[in-house]
Amino acid sequence: TTYYGLKNWGGRHFSADDAGFLQVHPLGDHRSIRIHDIVTEAIGKGYKPPLTIRIQDLLRTRVVELNQLFDEAIQDESYGGKYRGVFPIKVNQLREVVEEIRDAGKAFHYGLECGSKPELMIALAMHKDPESLIICNGYKDDEFIRLALFGRKLGKEIYLVVEQLSEVPRIIQISKKLGIKPLIGLRVKLSTMGEGKWASSSGEDAKFGLTSPEIIDATRRIKRAGLTDSLRLVHFHIGSQVPNIQTIKKATVEAARFYCELKKMGFPMELLDVGGGLGIDYDGSRSNYESSMNYTMREYARDVVYNVKTVCADADVEVPDLVTESGRAIVAPHSILVTEVCDRISKKSVPPKKTAASKKQNPVLRDLNAILENEHGSSPLERFHDSQQKREEANNLFNLGYLDLRERAQADAIYWKICEELSNLSKNGSYTPEELESLPAMMADQYVCNFSVFQSLIDHWACDQLFPIAPLQRLNEEPEVDATLVDITCDSEGKVSKFTDVEDVRQTLKLHDLKPKEAYYLGVFLVGAYQDIMGDLHNLFGRVNEVHVFLEDDEEDGFYIEDSIRGFAVSDVLGFTQYDGHILTRRMKKQIDRATKDDEIKPREGTRMLDEYAEFLRGHTYLAT
């Protein structure tokens, strides 16, 4: 199990049992569920991988943890305000996810954040607890503002956070027209830059937030409109997945300064919203690498509380209630993507064939063989260079017609054999010249997995975001194959060739040899944030099947699948591109009828073809392995 860094990224929630199965501990204690069992049960219900498994209790655990840690920090620091967190719907909008979070957060009056009109419409309808907040970020048109004000009318504590100066006069005008007093927050553009992959949400060039002159302007307009009483919140967000706690401390201090100044200007300030950014330790290295974080949730809570308290004490200003908009940290762990390995592509599978004694060997093959046998006692790097030269020569000879296909195949096979040898040398841990470093990755086998990177792991493709990946079974067997993963899209970008590792990013993942007739499942972990919604339909591979899993109350290792959501059918994705399944079927029928009439196919055969066509339209978009 050391291969998959389970102990590092798995924390209290993922481990391997003695039989080599990966298990999840939704409550972070001894209770566990074998993920392989969930897959088996899902298949039994007709939900085959690729499959998203949502561990609903784990979602709950994270909500409770965040709230408790803030409450603890507040107590320990004798902080005079409360914690009033909100969940940003954008990070995972699925109804069952939002409902679970809302219910888990009920005892803490945990609220919701929205960044667009559709999200606000979700928030308004799903929000129940009048003591919890709704925070509205994002660009706002008049309809957005009206909707938020309707929320005020319904007694909700709903804040319009100004992202752009132009929103101020519109909020004033619409609230006057409707006769509803708004609650207003200002998003400040901090000089503290974020850090990590999503740092561009902050700093001078960020597309959101008000600069300090704009803040002065906004406050003047708000005052002039007689809405002094409405401005109560300061907000900032320096980007998601902040790896370094120092960045968070600095940003909190700067935002707290804005808060204090606004309070001193006479606004009845009461909330400081520190946005999102609380990270997930994807590689388990507990470092300030992009895919990691050098702090814990506890440290985060303490630092926010402590720094706000200190700044306010210095300014002699009463402390605000604290809001966080942590999304990733709440939802990433609960979701697991399961894919089945359906094929293996290996450069090593074809051993170089010896030429028949009777046939004269082409000199280029002789030379390649000599490099393979290292007849000249050359260094690894020299052999690599020589073999590259000879392979190019062989390709040229083939193109000019001096080498036949069999000989070309021999040249390729010998070349790969040389690379394999050199790659093994560089894996031994001895000094490896730079040019040979990429050989292990080049020589790795490709495990073909039944899923689409573009649908299910879009951040891996788009921003090199790393996710931990591990087999769901055989963790008590030593894996021996160096592999990379490729998906089933017709796109060479549809691959995973960067893996989490505590020390460095790895280019290959150690996997087990595939056994005939035994499914080999891989789990991609910590994928509950953003991936679900941002995926696209490249090659028309649609949403995957999904099951929602709960712990059984009275059984140690029991679980049940409460909900299952079928992935997109072929007809669904065709619909998105303006095809109608019925029309396509009719067109097929016309062609089949014609072929039957012309005696090209038998009527029975034609009917069967049409039935199958219609059935596949209702079927899944992924490989029916």
Handedness of CA 43, 46, 52, 53 (dihedral sign): negative
From 136, 342, 463, 490, active-site residue: 490
Handedness of CA 113, 119, 120, 123 (dihedral sign): negative
Q: Is 240 in the site for ligand PLP (CB under 6 A)?
A: yes
Q: What residue is closest to ligand PLP based on CB? A: 276
Q: Give yes or no for a contact between 469 and 496, defined as CB atoms under 8 angstroms apart.
A: yes
Q: Give yes or no for a contact between 163 and 208, defined as CB atoms under 8 angstroms apart.
A: yes
Q: Is 59 in the site for ligand PLP (CB under 6 A)?
A: no
How far apart are CB 214 and ligand PLP at their closest, in Å? Answer: 17
The two beta strands, 183-187 and 157-162, are parallel
How far apart are CB 571 and ligand PLP at their closest, in Å? Answer: 34
Q: Which is nearer to ligand PLP, 237 or 498 (CB)?
A: 237
Distances (CA, A) of 86 to 77, 99, 258, 419: 22, 13, 21, 54
**Cα–Cα nearest to 65, from 24, 12, 14, 115:** 12
Q: Which is nearer to ligand PLP, 240 or 545 (CB)?
A: 240
How far apart are CB 529 and ligand PLP at their closest, in Å? Answer: 6
Q: Which of 327, 352, 523, 567 contacts ligand PLP by CB under 6 A?
A: 327
Handedness of CA 155, 156, 159, 160 (dihedral sign): negative
463 catalytic per annotation: no
Q: Is 292 in the site for ligand PLP (CB under 6 A)?
A: no
How far apart are CB 255 and ligand PLP at their closest, in Å? Answer: 13
Taking CB under 6 A as the rule, which mask of x and - marks residues 257-276 in contact with ligand PLP?
------------------xx
Q: CA 286, 288, 291: angle at the middle one, nearest 5?
A: 75
Q: What crossing angle do the helices spanning 297-315 and 56-76 adopt, rounded to 10°? A: 30
How far apart are CB 242 and ligand PLP at their closest, in Å? Answer: 7
Q: Which of 32, 56, 137, 484 contacts ligand PLP by CB under 6 A?
A: 137
Q: Is 194 in the site for ligand PLP (CB under 6 A)?
A: no
Q: Is 325 in the site for ligand PLP (CB under 6 A)?
A: yes
How far apart are CB 162 and ligand PLP at their closest, in Å? Answer: 13
Q: Is 528 in the site for ligand PLP (CB under 6 A)?
A: no
Reduced to 3 states, what is the DSSP secondary structure of residue 578? coil
Distances (CA, A) of 435 to 379, 392, 432, 502, 505: 13, 17, 8, 24, 18
Q: Give yes or no for a contact between 394 and 411, defined as CB atoms under 8 angstroms apart.
A: yes
Q: Which is nearer to ligand PLP, 323 or 486 (CB)?
A: 323
Q: Is 326 in the site for ligand PLP (CB under 6 A)?
A: yes
607: Cβ contacts below 8 Å, ≥ 6 apart: none
How far apart are CB 456 and ligand PLP at their closest, in Å? Answer: 18
Q: Is 91 in the site for ligand PLP (CB under 6 A)?
A: yes
Q: Cα separation of 540 and 571, whole Å?
A: 10
Scanning the structure block, which residue is given the tokens 């040899």? 513
How far apart are CB 113 and ligand PLP at their closest, in Å? Answer: 6
Number of chain positions touching ligand PLP (CB under 6 A) = 17
Q: Which is nearer to ligand PLP, 194 or 352 (CB)?
A: 194
Q: Which is nearer to ligand PLP, 60 or 328 (CB)?
A: 328
Exposure string over 99-119, b if 16+ CB within 10 A, otherwise e: ebbbebbeebbbbbbbbbbeb
Q: Which of 53, 59, 184, 278 contacts ligand PLP by CB under 6 A?
A: 278
**Cα–Cα nearest to 433, from 474, 480, 370, 381:** 381
Q: Which of 189, 328, 334, 538 contacts ligand PLP by CB under 6 A?
A: 328
How far apart are CB 135 and ligand PLP at their closest, in Å? Answer: 8
Q: Which is nearer to ligand PLP, 47 or 530 (CB)?
A: 530
The two beta strands, 271-273 and 321-323, are parallel
Q: Which is nearer to ligand PLP, 68 or 395 (CB)?
A: 68
Q: Is 277 in the site for ligand PLP (CB under 6 A)?
A: yes
Q: Which two tokens stand for residue 218?
A: 């906004």
How far apart are CB 68 and ligand PLP at their closest, in Å? Answer: 18
Run of H or E including 326:
none
Exposure string over 606-619, b if 16+ CB within 10 A, otherwise e: beebbeeebeebee
Taking CB under 6 A as the rule, which mask of x and - marks residues 62-81 in contact with ligand PLP?
--------------------
Of 125-133, 189-197, 326-334, 479-487, the window that binds ligand PLP (rule: CB under 6 A) is 326-334
Cis peptide before 363 (omega within 30 of 0): no
Question: What count of other Cβ atoms lies within 10 Å of the Cβ of residue 261?
Answer: 18
Residue type, 222: I
Q: Is 88 in the site for ligand PLP (CB under 6 A)?
A: yes
Q: Which is nearer to ligand PLP, 171 or 529 (CB)?
A: 529
Q: Which is nearer to ligand PLP, 3 or 139 (CB)?
A: 139
Q: Which is nearer to ligand PLP, 151 or 194 (CB)?
A: 194
CA 326 to chain CA centroid, nearest Å? 15
Chain residues in the site for ligand PLP (CB under 6 A): 88, 91, 113, 137, 237, 240-241, 275-278, 325-329, 529
Q: Which residues are catalytic?
A: 490
